[in-house]
């Protein structure tokens, strides 16, 4: 398991902004959706309703004091409205399925990024996605059509990842593995779950209706997420194939959670869930994986898995 990470959420009231130095002064209020002040044994404490934890006021104030002057890494998604984005992809998907697109120029931006790193250990959030129903699709179509359908699906899914500042690490036959690196570990958790929901939305709300309209079987996806530190290593032989890869339990755990998710499901490890913004945590719920799940956290407890509650 990865090292313990901790997050607190605030409502930020900006009181002044200096355009020249690009600095601001703000008042941070604990997010009332998650926190409330309580008296415990005559002392004022901040109660975390999600994690059932009490913070003495002195500890809370010291933590806030340490934030002063620290850099804030914030990367909003490159798309303002995920629903509008996936809807806008419909004509592109229809054209691609009909063969009306030119082959893109080959470029591996993930390899470029990993090659540029000055260190070989970094914190990541990993997404593992698997397309389900591809076998049925293969038997219902000829080889050329099947290849085009899977290629279009993976292309469209891949296009979503960089919209959330992520990279596609590799393709796994009928799926992909993507990663979201530091510097802001906290923001990457929010970006990753936002990306996962957008990936799912593209398949079920845009791609599948098109497949159905054209008389093809529909597909599904399973998605798993985990977060933690991993090593960036060069693997393979220069005599055949060699490339940068991310090696660590975080990658394998994301894949194992993905494999246990129900069709359409999004599963995430406790490290991701605990570091999500309150708004995201409110749509997650724990999953009891009692069969063949013996992975533990840093304290030796069974590593908790959560699922995203999806609208019916």
Compute CA distances 257 → 133, 233, 304, whole Å. 18, 24, 11
Query: What is residue 2's predicted lDDT score, i.e. its pLDDT?
Result: 47
Compute CA distances 205 → 89, 97, 222, whole Å. 11, 16, 15
Mark whether 35 and 166 lie in a shared domain.
no
237 φψ region: left (φ > 0), alpha (ψ -120 to 50), beta (else)? beta
Mark whether 141 and 244 lie in a shared domain.
yes
The pLDDT > 90 percentage for the chain reads 63
Output Rg (C-alpha) for the chain, integer angstroms.
22
- Closest to 266 in 3D by CA, of 226, 295, 225: 225
59 neighbors 8 (Cβ within 8 angstroms) = no
Query: What is residue 108's predicted lDDT score, i.e. its pLDDT?
Result: 87
Name the pTM for this structure: 0.89
- Residues 168-223 have pLDDT tens digits of 999 998 999 999 998 776 789 999 999 999 999 999 999 999 999 999 999 999 99
pLDDT band at 290 (very low <50, low <70, confident <90, very high): low
Q: How far apart (Å, rounded) are the C-alpha atoms in residues 60 and 71?
A: 19
Q: In the 3-class helix/strand/coil scheme, how is 79-102 assigned residue by residue?
A: CCCHHHHHHHCHHHHHHHHCCCCC
- Closest to 224 in 3D by CA, of 205, 248, 200, 241: 200
The mean pLDDT of 262-272, rounded to a whole number, is 96
Query: Does the pLDDT of residue 103 top 70, yes or no?
Result: no
- Residues 2-13 have pLDDT tens digits of 455 568 888 888
Give the end of a domain, one of 43, 67, 91: 67
Is residue 43 included in any domain, yes or no? yes
- Residues 107-165 have pLDDT tens digits of 889 999 999 998 899 999 999 999 999 888 888 889 999 999 999 999 999 999 999 99
Q: How far apart (Å, rounded) are the C-alpha atoms in residues 84 and 75?
A: 20
Mark whether 220 and 263 lie in a shared domain.
yes
Is residue 4 included in any domain, yes or no? no
Q: How far apart (Å, rounded) are the C-alpha atoms in residues 54 and 278?
A: 17
Range of the domain at 242: 82-308
Q: How far apart (Å, rounded) are the C-alpha atoms in residues 150 and 187?
A: 31
Is residue 75 included in any domain, yes or no? no
Mark whether 62 and 95 lie in a shared domain.
no
The mean pLDDT of 78-98, rounded to a whole number, is 93
Count of domains forming the chain: 2
Mark whether 218 and 261 lie in a shared domain.
yes
Strands 167-171 and 220-237: unpaired
Give the end of a domain, one of 25, 44, 67: 67
For residue 126, the 8-state DSSP code is E
Residue 298 sits in a domain of what CATH number? 3.30.70.1230
Instruction: Record the tokens describing residue 217, joined without a space.
Output: 């079987």
Query: Does the pLDDT of residue 74 top 80, yes or no?
Result: no
Q: How far apart (Å, rounded) are the C-alpha atoms in residues 110 and 211?
A: 30
């Amino acid at each position: 398991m990865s090292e313990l990470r901790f997050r607190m959420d605030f409502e930020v009231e900006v009181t002044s902004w200096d355009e020249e130095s690009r600095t601001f002064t703000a008042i941070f209020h604990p997010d009332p959706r998650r926190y409330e002040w309580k008296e415990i044994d005559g002392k004022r404490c901040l109660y975390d309703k999600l994690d059932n934890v009490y913070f003495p006021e002195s500890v809370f104030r010291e933590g806030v004091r340490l934030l002063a002057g620290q850099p804030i890494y914030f990367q909003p998604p490159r798309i303002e409205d995920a629903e509008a984005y996936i809807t806008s992809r419909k004509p592109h998907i229809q054209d691609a399925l009909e063969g009306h697109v030119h082959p893109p120029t080959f470029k591996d931006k993930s390899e470029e990024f990993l090659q540029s790193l000055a260190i070989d250990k970094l914190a990541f959030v990993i997404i593992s996605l698997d397309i389900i129903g591809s076998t049925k699709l293969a038997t219902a179509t000829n080889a050329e059509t099947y290849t085009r359908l899977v290629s279009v699906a993976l292309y469209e899914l891949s296009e979503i990842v960089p919209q959330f500042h992520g990279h596609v690490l590799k393709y796994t036959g009928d799926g992909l593995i993507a990663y979201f690196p530091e510097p802001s570990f906290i923001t990457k958790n929010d970006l990753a779950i936002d990306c996962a929901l957008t990936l799912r939305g593209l398949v079920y709300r845009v791609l599948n209706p098109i497949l159905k309209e054209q008389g093809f079987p529909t597909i599904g996806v399973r998605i798993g997420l985990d977060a933690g530190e991993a090593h960036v290593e060069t693997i393979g032989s220069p005599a055949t194939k060699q490339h940068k890869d991310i090696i660590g339990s975080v990658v394998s755990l994301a894949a194992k959670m993905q494999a246990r998710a129900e069709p359409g499901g999004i599963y995430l490890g406790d490290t991701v869930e605990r570091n999500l913004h309150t708004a995201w945590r409110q749509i997650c719920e724990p999953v009891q994986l009692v069969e063949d799940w013996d992975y533990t956290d840093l304290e030796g407890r069974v590593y908790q898995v959560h699922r995203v509650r999806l609208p019916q």
